């Protein structure tokens, strides 16, 4: 009977230790889920900006298709480019894409048109949390706009 009376004393506190380890494992799991959620929110925001860039470029290409055929007015600093750029403001467009009146020219979209109707639109943007000394994001769209004779 002496042996049986020692067993409960040797195991005293083992259940408390198991409970503490279980709480630790559970806490690490919860912290991992919170970190995963934060990363997911950041990536969703980045995807939104990429989608906005693609939509803005497609909008300009759509205008080129319905134009009278003179694509040179859509090149950077052309009349149609400036009209399109006026619509791409900080409220509607990408963050960091601003007009020349603000003095920030480095983030303006660029449009090049060659003689064969190949158009290259490059959009640059910075997310609101990005530092100004960090290079921003870039989205390039290349399309060919040619009318049948």
Res 141: pLDDT: 92
Res 30: pLDDT: 96
Residue 1 lies in a domain: no
Res 103: pLDDT: 43
Residue span of the structural domain in which 97 resides: 14-144
Res 26: pLDDT: 96
Per residue of the chain (149 residues), give pLDDT as tens.
555 555 556 666 788 889 999 999 999 999 999 999 999 988 888 888 888 888 888 888 888 888 877 888 888 878 888 888 777 664 455 665 554 444 444 467 888 888 788 999 988 877 777 777 777 788 899 998 887 66
Residue 109 lies in a domain: yes
> What one-character-per-residue DSSP string does the chain give?
-HHHHHHHHHTTTHHHHHHHHHHHHHHHHHHHHHHHHHHHHHHHHHHHHHHHHHHHHHHHHHHHHHS-S-GGGGSTTSHHHHHHHHH--TTTS-TT---GGGT--TTS-EEEE-TTSEEEEEEEE--TTS-TTS--EEEEEEEE-----
Q: Contact 103/97 with Cβ under 8 angstroms?
A: no
Count of domains forming the chain? 1
| The overall pTM is greater than 0.75 | no
Residue 149 lies in a domain: no
What's the chain's Rg over C-alpha atoms?
A: 29
Residue 59 lies in a domain: yes
Cα–Cα distance between 109 and 87 in angstroms, integer? 12
Residue 90 lies in a domain: yes
Q: Residue for token digits 């090149």?
A: 75
- Structure tokens given for 133: 């000394």
Residue 5 lies in a domain: no
Residue 4 lies in a domain: no
Q: Contact 96/126 with Cβ under 8 angstroms?
A: yes
Distance of CA 131 to the CA centre of its chain: 15
Res 93: pLDDT: 58
């Amino acid at each position: 009977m002496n042996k049986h009376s020692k067993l409960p004393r040797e195991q005293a506190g083992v259940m408390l230790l198991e409970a503490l380890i279980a709480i630790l494992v559970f806490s690490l799991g919860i912290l991992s889920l919170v970190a995963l959620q934060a990363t997911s929110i950041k990536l969703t925001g980045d995807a939104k900006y990429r989608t906005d860039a693609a939509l803005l470029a497609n909008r300009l290409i759509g205008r080129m298709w319905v134009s009278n055929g003179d694509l040179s007015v859509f090149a950077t600093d052309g009349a149609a480019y400036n009209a399109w750029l006026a619509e791409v403001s900080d409220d509607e467009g990408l963050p960091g894409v601003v007009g020349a009146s603000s003095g920030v020219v480095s983030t303006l979209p660029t449009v090049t048109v060659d003689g064969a109707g190949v158009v290259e639109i490059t959009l640059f943007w910075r997310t609101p949390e990005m530092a100004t000394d960090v290079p921003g994001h870039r989205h390039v769209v290349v399309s060919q706009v040619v009318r049948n004779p």
